[in-house]
A and B are shown apart, each in its own frame.
Chain A
Amino acid sequence: MANVTLDHVAHAYPGAPGAAPTYALKPIDHMWRNGRAYALLGPSGCGKTTLLNIISGLVIPSEGRLLFDDRDVTRLSTEKRNIAQVFQFPVIYDTMTVAENLAFPLKNRGMDRASIERRVGEIADLLDLRPVLKRRARGLTADAKQKISLGRGLVRADVSAVLFDEPLTVIDPALKWELRSKLKAVHQALDMLMIYVTHDQVEALTFADEVVVMKDGEVLQIGTPADLFERPAHSFVGYFIGSPGMNFLPASLAGGRAVVGEAAFDLGAQYDAPAAGKRVELGFRPDYATLLPAGGLPVRVLRIEDLGRRRLARLGMGAHEVVATLPPDVDLAPGDAGGLHVPREHLHVFVDDLRIEGRSA
């Protein structure tokens, strides 16, 4: 168990001689605290798996240092790092029983039989694998196999961190939820550092205490699920987190207001006008924007989407389109005119994709 520190870690694959290297992972500084659960979230190819492999030792970063507590492990081999990793596809030893699978890492480290048996029993109880211990591992379902992969990591008591690389990819949707809550329960029971790579925001937000959102090899924001939702630091975070994503409207700032075409949003705070040539956008979440028959800013209803639990209205606002929530008691049809209401605390200003704070007036 340890804190894992990334000290200016970056990874680049050598490009053509003379050309600038292409970064799979841009420099990042971060400390992963022991006992917490983190999710690395981002679209495919964003560098999240590279980052995970750097921590596990499968990839040696081209720059920076990796520390487990105070120990520099940057060049240490995987087996010496004491990490556990669960892969996208279940990795089990076909010819062994479940118990032998769980005992394998301990046997390789020369632990005595009695201790192995005790430890395997503990982990089997934790993961509900006790009833299948004597079964051959290859005959089990994918979710049981993933639990075995996890168990093989957890049997070692000195594990510094448990890493998950999209572990639910091949699991039945019905069992995903169950396995995810199992992971969460294991995390609470063992108080270990866990890092979970996924491109599914629901998995990330439900599993993690803190989510790291990545794109194009760059960390855009590290924050709690609420942070990412309420105060996205980057327009990509606003768009990627939440369903549907945040509305973005090109705007210009004038005093305490953001002007979008004909309409003006009252921001309730003062913003300095950004330098010329910078792109200014106003962002707000469909979850906090409501469509009412009157008042607010004038919009036309283009389409109503009934999602069962709630209704979303796609609205025309001048030349732009926005999505807002349609309250249950409001009855509007496509073609109708209405008013858009967004509380000022849910309006965000992004300059060149980065969120800026205003000064309270």
Chain B
Amino acid sequence: MMDKPWSNRAWFFVIPVLVVVLFSSLLPMMTVVNYSVQDTMGQNHFFWNGAAWFQNLLDPTTDIGGRFASALVRNLIFSFVVLMIELPLGIAVAICIPRHGWKVGATLVLIALPLLIPWTVVGTIWEIFARQDIGLLGAALNGIGVHYNDTQDPTSAWATIVMMDVWHWTGMIALLSYAGLKAIPDAFYQAARIDGASRWSVFRNIELPKLQKVLVIAVLLRFMESFMIYTEPSVVTGGGPGEATSFLSLDLVKIALGQVDLGNAAAMSIVYYLITLTICWIFFTIMTQLDQRKGA
């Protein structure tokens, strides 16, 4: 160890990567930081504004603060609802997937199909699907006497967005869970049969604990994606009716590109980013800690 030559020259080889990262993410992000602490009167003239944008944003009594808080709450409810539906449904689907024969391939392709569709197309499919005049879902529901109108009724809009997300993403959780289930050795099932365990007991005591690691990943991926959702609701409802489905990213785009309110948009971007990061970190820490504590 002591004879090893000490040299820092290797760092030179890292420089190209640093330069690329600098231009690809660091600099654009710093522009956002830059806008978040300045204000402008136009003519490309900027002056220092301190933490005022942030104070406004985080104070729910202000106009922008109120918008942000309600969008955040909507977003959290949305993520919670889709996770609560997609997680159990995905696991249930995974358990029903056949384990042998040609049906495996057929089922897996079928389940993966929604994952392969571009997000704008998913949005368009559901926008048409939900229309009361020609959409299969909208027309059928109204036909049997259920009041359904996703452009005017907030409940209908929410139901449409949630159904669309479930349709789009349950397949991913099913595929992840299926991979996890396949990794359980046969001996566990055989032992459970010898022990006289019921099907529910097998699920509760063997499958679910063995799936835990896979489900941590699934929850993280689904949370991040649903918390940042933009494309599909933007196509289907455009955030409406009113503000009913205006999630954080939709609101952010409205402020940044619709109103060209750079200071508010920049402050909102940074807070949005930090919230996502923090929630994911908390999720991950809790779930891995839980895992370790059980092992002790």
Q: Do B295 and A138 touch (CB < 8 A)? A: yes
Does A179 interact with chain B (Cβ within 8 Å)?
no
| A94-B209 contact in complex given A89-B185, A136-B295, A139-B296, C-beta closer than 8 Å | yes
B-side residues, CB < 8 A to A, are 185, 187-188, 190-191, 193-198, 201, 205-206, 209-210, 294-296
10 nearest CB pairs, A to B: A108-B196, A87-B187, A91-B191, A105-B195, A94-B209, A93-B205, A78-B193, A79-B196, A95-B209, A91-B187
Contact digits for A76-114, partner B, Cβ 8 Å, 1 yes 0 no: 011100011101110101111000000011001100000
CB contact between B197 and one of A77, A108, A136 (< 8 Å): that residue: A108
Measured in the bound complex, the distance between the Cα atoms of B206 and A77 in whole Å is: 20
B154 CB, min distance to chain A CBs, angstroms: 41
Chain A residues with CB below 8 A from B205, complex form = 93-96, 104
Q: Do B187 and A89 touch (CB < 8 A)? A: yes
Q: Do A87 and B294 touch (CB < 8 A)? A: no
Does A146 interact with chain B (Cβ within 8 Å)?
no
24 A-B pairs within 8 Å (CB atoms) are namely A58-B193, A78-B194, A79-B193, A85-B190, A87-B187, A87-B191, A89-B185, A89-B187, A91-B191, A93-B206, A93-B209, A94-B209, A94-B210, A94-B294, A95-B205, A104-B195, A104-B197, A104-B205, A105-B194, A108-B197, A138-B294, A138-B295, A139-B296, A153-B194
B23 CB, min distance to chain A CBs, angstroms: 48
A123 CB, min distance to chain B CBs, angstroms: 14
Chain B residues with CB below 8 A from A78, complex form = 190, 193-194
Q: Do B194 and A79 touch (CB < 8 A)? A: yes
Instruction: Scan residues 151-174 of chain A and give those whose CB is less than 8 A from a CB of chain B.
Output: 152-153
Does A149 interact with chain B (Cβ within 8 Å)?
yes
B65 CB, min distance to chain A CBs, angstroms: 44
Contact digits for A131-145, partner B, Cβ 8 Å, 1 yes 0 no: 000001011000000
Chain A residues with CB below 8 A from B188, complex form = 91
Measured in the bound complex, the distance between the Cα atoms of B187 and A88 in whole Å is: 8
Measured in the bound complex, the distance between the Cα atoms of B198 and A109 in whole Å is: 10
Measured in the bound complex, the distance between the Cα atoms of B186 and A85 in whole Å is: 13
Task: Supply 8 further A-B pairs (C-beta < 8 A) apart from A89-B185, A104-B205, A138-B295.
Answer: A58-B190, A79-B195, A85-B191, A104-B195, A105-B196, A108-B196, A136-B295, A152-B195
Chain A residues with CB below 8 A from B209, complex form = 93-95
